[in-house]
Structure 1
């Protein structure tokens, strides 16, 4: 698989001082209700089988701890972030806040960000049209006091969707 070769290349080309900085090779960001029991589980298993140390929230977070600080630390400690952009991804403030942190780490730490468009049109994600437009319309109504955050989330989603990624609508068998 070309994607695994890309990850292998990233793993083998880093220096030992860089390697000590990373806790994970990959951080998976996804909307659980859409993809956890199908695509994301298969992707996670393929990464693990390939020897790629992958963070997925339900496997790596110690029970009883606050989720937010642990997730932010895991994002920052990952060499690559894979964001599975599904239909309901943007309906989760939690997912969008993860994405904001991932974009920040891309800019400040040089992390690689790989978007996967799962059953969504990349253009709808990029321009927040269709379902993504409706979702942000709801965010703007519900979070009137947090419009700056809504705009930061909107910008992060656009930036991620502008990157070259995997459009599963155009791949045989997804």
Structure 2
């Protein structure tokens, strides 16, 4: 079953990190899922959002650490990519050490191939034994089996892609709704420290009741929701 624990320190920068094999799903399923998440004002990180000049692999691994939920889209050629497998290993590490939520999606791939390291997935994983360190390959095997055992979605069961994406987005919305409030980090933002302290003092009101914080501003800055504290 899926992990239900919350990250030990609520300081994530992204709601969701999407791990996927670009040649398989970038311009199809992943693109549609990413658009659906953004439409619901969910900050879903995808590799095309990296800044120019950033080294791809270290930057992606850092984004995984900075995310509350990781969605792993297992596809036919996912295990052929060392990039994908290193993401998978990092996601598993964050799941184990930080309580990060991980949601697997099996896109045109039998989940048993990932869990049992068999079929096309197992063959692709085995090919890395010649070029990669044995301990790294073993970490990929372990992460594959563990994450494949979590509750997720199978496109062979829900064949209507629109419905599949709707169910994934709905589940992520519920998980984010129950998430602890992310900590505010104003470091590096000129003139914001005093404002953050002022807001924090207002939130620490001590008595019972309901506090509503309204955020007003231009579209796209994440002001579509408000915080309610009981």
TM-score (norm 2): 0.65
CA distance in 2, matches of 1:67, 1:162: 28
Q: Which residue of 2 aligns with 1:173?
A: 160
Secondary structure at 1:169 match in 2: coil
Q: Which residue of 2 aligns with 1:102?
A: 91
Q: Quote the offset at 1:28 in angstroms.
A: 0.2
Secondary structure at 1:150 match in 2: helix
CA distance in 2, matches of 1:156, 1:61: 25
Secondary structure at 2:102 match in 1: strand
| Deviation digits for residues 37-86 of structure 1 (CA, Å, limit 9, x no counterpart) | 0000000000000110010001x200111112211111001000000000
Q: Which residue of 1 aligns with 2:216?
A: none
CA distance in 2, matches of 1:27, 1:150: 23
Please list, as runs of the form range in 1=range in 2, the aligned pairs for 1:58-137 lying within 5 A after superposition: 58=48, 60-137=49-126
CA distance in 1, matches of 2:45, 2:114: 24
Is 2:36 the counterpart of 1:46?
yes
Secondary structure at 1:79 match in 2: strand
Runs of 4+, deviation exceeding 6 Å? none
- Tell me how large the CA RMSD over aligned residues is: 1.7
Secondary structure at 1:22 match in 2: coil
Secondary structure at 2:41 match in 1: coil
CA distance in 1, matches of 2:121, 2:87: 17
Q: Which residue of 2 aligns with 1:57?
A: 47
Secondary structure at 1:160 match in 2: helix
CA distance in 1, matches of 2:136, 2:126: 14
Q: Which residue of 2 aligns with 1:6?
A: none
Secondary structure at 1:149 match in 2: helix
**Equivalent of 1:24 in 14, 21, 31:** 14
Q: Which residue of 2 aligns with 1:154?
A: 141
Q: Which residue of 1 aligns with 2:210?
A: none
CA distance in 2, matches of 1:78, 1:88: 24
CA distance in 2, matches of 1:110, 1:125: 22
CA distance in 2, matches of 1:142, 1:97: 14
Tell me the number of residue pairs that the alignment of Structure 1 and Structure 2 aligns: 156
The structure in which a higher percent of residues are helix is 1
TM-score (norm 1): 0.85
CA distance in 1, matches of 2:153, 2:82: 23
CA distance in 1, matches of 2:158, 2:54: 39
